[in-house]
Amino acid sequence: MGKVLVTRQFIIFLGIILVTILFIRQTPPPTEIQLPCEALFENPDDFLYHFTLRKTRVTPLDFNTVTSGHDICEADSIDMVILVVTEHNHVPLRQMIRSTWGAKKTVSRGSKRWNIQTVFLFGLHQDKNMNHEVKLEAAIYGDIVIFDFKDSYYNLTYKVLLGLKWVRGACRQAKYVLKTDDDTYLNLPEILLRLESKEWNTKICGCFSQSEPVERTNIKSKVSMKSYPIKNYPPHVKGRAYFMPRHIATKLLNVAEYIPYVNIEDVHVTGILAKSAGNIEHRGLTEEEYHPYHPAKNCEILSGNILVSSTTAEMGLAIWKELQDGNTHKNCDYNN
């Protein structure tokens, strides 16, 4: 009887150990949170864990540059770097920018002269011939940086983050960073005038959105529940054009690799990362200052009312030509 009792106790003991091991293996680490299959969280403040830095990198930015662009920022003093998100076949739009608002390296506005550098950002196209053409363009104009990741709409967030990382390493003297799309016309003198004020030069500036529902069905802009398990986005600015001082861009980069990747660039960079970094404010452009969908007319831009507008290559060139005409002011009725 004694041996049988000992054997039973031993078997029970082994069973307890086995159950304990299985329980430990099935229990998630204390630093991870099991996410629901549906977005049960209405607003960002309902699930602050998403904006908490992970202990290890979850969004590595370890991509290399195909064209380094280190000679782009050779000037001793650069006040602003303009990062233009573009695509391989958008040659006319890039040429429009080079011939219009992106042509000037020095802009006088307010009480100072601003030194500006415009840079076009690329990933790698699946067509090697397209990559070759862009490399030739880079050799001609010296204003292109290519990163070795797949160039796609889903990877647009990577493109912007890598652009900010490139500025941090290659343009260390830059005081401000402006991100824009290639189908955009910028009223650069008016933007620079805003930056003379602390109301603007200490924040992320752009077309402000307090809250916006997450798209779950549209293939192009769909965001998975795993990437962002909340129904609404945090406050952010829209991606056609936004600008910020260098120290804020650095704060965003410092947290970027430790927050899950979201494929909606403007939301992720200016909203999610800004909330994760903490103590970052936004300054919104008004509807009169920002034309995201309908190109502004030359008189609207000349009046200084429009800072950012969508455009085509042809319209951008036409507006620039009219703005250089000294008689344009006489033909504009600013009351209408």
In a domain, 159, yes or no: yes
Secondary structure (DSSP) of 179-243: EEETTEEE-HHHHHHHTTSHHHHTSEEESEES-EEPPSS-TTT---TTT--BSEEPSEE-TTEEE
In a domain, 266, yes or no: yes
In a domain, 302, yes or no: no
Instruction: Determine the 3-state secondary structure of 312 from DSSP.
Output: coil
Q: Return d(Cα 18, Cα 8) in angstroms, integer.
A: 15
Per-residue pLDDT at 128 exceeds 80: yes
Per-residue pLDDT at 126 exceeds 50: yes
How many domains does one find in the chain? Answer: 1
pLDDT band for position 30 (cuts 50, 70, 90): very low
In a domain, 253, yes or no: yes
Are 52 and 86 in contact by the 8 Å Cβ rule? The answer is no
Give the per-residue pLDDT at 170. Answer: 93
Backbone dihedral angles phi then psi of residue 244, each to the nearest 5 degrees: -160, 155
In a domain, 152, yes or no: yes
Q: Shortest CA distance to 280 belongs to which of 241, 322, 245, 332?
A: 245
Per-residue pLDDT at 74 exceeds 90: no
Share of the chain above pLDDT 70, in %: 85
| Stronger pLDDT, 281 or 303, i.e. the higher one | 281
Q: Return d(Cα 241, Cα 265) in angstroms, integer.
A: 12
B/e letters for 35-54, b = 16+ CB within 10 Å, e = fewer, are eeeebebeebeebeebbeee
Residue keyed to tokens 């076009």: 120
Which pLDDT tens digit goes with each residue over 129-187? Answer: 999 999 999 999 999 999 999 999 999 999 999 999 999 999 999 999 999 999 999 99
CATH number at residue 126: 3.90.550
Are 146 and 64 in contact by the 8 Å Cβ rule? The answer is no
In a domain, 239, yes or no: yes
| Stronger pLDDT, 10 or 52, i.e. the higher one | 52
Tell me the residue type at 147. F
pLDDT band for position 7 (cuts 50, 70, 90): low
192 Cβ contact partners less than 8 Å away, ≥ 6 residues apart: 80, 107, 109, 110, 114
pLDDT band for position 297 (cuts 50, 70, 90): confident
